[in-house]
Amino acid sequence: MRALIILSAMMAGAILSGCAASNGNMALDTVGPIPTRAAPANSTGGTLVVYSAYKVNADFNSEDPYRPEYSDYKIYNADGKLLWRVHNNSGTILQEPTPVKLPAGNYRVFARVNGYGFLTIPVMIEARRTTVLHLEGGNAWPDKSAFNQTNAVRLPDGRIVGWRASPSS
């Protein structure tokens, strides 16, 4: 009986220490715009598209309750002030992520990342450009072959999150 109690205490300690090793301390490089995707010439701001991890629970009020939906996320300015809470569903039958128009500048996105919980990812928005974050785990980059070790921001498991922001921007 005593051995069972000690074993249970050790297992609980191991589980709790695993929970304490949060991903909140993970630091990723700043994600910038896709080099080849530009917005209309009359635009002064840029666009952010976040493919966040899918919602955990089904939404039976959505267009298609059997199709996974991207989880909501928050956008903060560089000083840490909350700017937007984004409901990440375009409202169409495809349930695509919601594109967000932002003034050019640096922001922080707090979103659910598949396999990592919630992370804060620094992003750079440039005028007439689109910045894309892939946090859902699918990483369906149409130009994945263009990524290399110097231009991609990656998670520790190697998955590509987005394009590394250009230092000259």
Residue of higher predicted confidence among 86 and 142: 86
What distance in Å separates the CA atoms of residue 144 and residue 160, rounded to the nearest whole number?
A: 9
Residue of higher predicted confidence among 60 and 5: 60
Q: Sorting pLDDT into bands at 50, 70 and 90, what band is 18?
A: very low
In a domain, 46, yes or no: yes
Residue 99: which of 87, 107, 112 has the closest Cα?
87
Q: Sorting pLDDT into bands at 50, 70 and 90, what band is 144?
A: confident
In a domain, 15, yes or no: no
What distance in Å separates the CA atoms of residue 27 and residue 39, rounded to the nearest whole number?
A: 29
In a domain, 134, yes or no: yes
What distance in Å separates the CA atoms of residue 112 and residue 93, rounded to the nearest whole number?
A: 22
In a domain, 16, yes or no: no
Domains: count for the chain = 1
Residue 68: which of 19, 136, 135, 7 has the closest Cα?
136
Residue 157: which of 122, 123, 119, 131 has the closest Cα?
119
What pLDDT was estimated at residue 145? 75
Q: What is the mean predicted confidence (pLDDT) over 45-64?
A: 80
Q: Sorting pLDDT into bands at 50, 70 and 90, what band is 66?
A: low
Q: Say if residue 91 is exposed, middle or buried (CB neighbours under 10 Å; 0-12, 13-18, 19+).
A: exposed
In a domain, 64, yes or no: yes
In a domain, 97, yes or no: yes
Which residues are CB-neighbours of 55 under 8 A, at least 6 positions away? 68, 69, 70, 71
What pLDDT was estimated at residue 9? 52
Structural domain range at position 43:
23-164
Residue of higher predicted confidence among 117 and 66: 117
What distance in Å separates the CA atoms of residue 118 and residue 159, rounded to the nearest whole number?
A: 16
What would the two tokens of residue 73 be?
Answer: 């996320």
Q: Sorting pLDDT into bands at 50, 70 and 90, what band is 63?
A: low
What pLDDT was estimated at residue 22? 43
Residue of higher predicted confidence among 9 and 42: 42
In a domain, 47, yes or no: yes
How is 116-164 classified by DSSP, letter by letter? Answer: TEEEEEEEEE-TTEEEEEE-SS----TTGGG--TTTEEE-TTS-EEEEE
Report yes or no: 125 and 48 within 8 Å, Cβ to Cβ.
Answer: yes
In a domain, 72, yes or no: yes
What distance in Å separates the CA atoms of residue 131 and residue 5, rounded to the nearest whole number?
A: 52
What would the two tokens of residue 120 be?
Answer: 């804060």
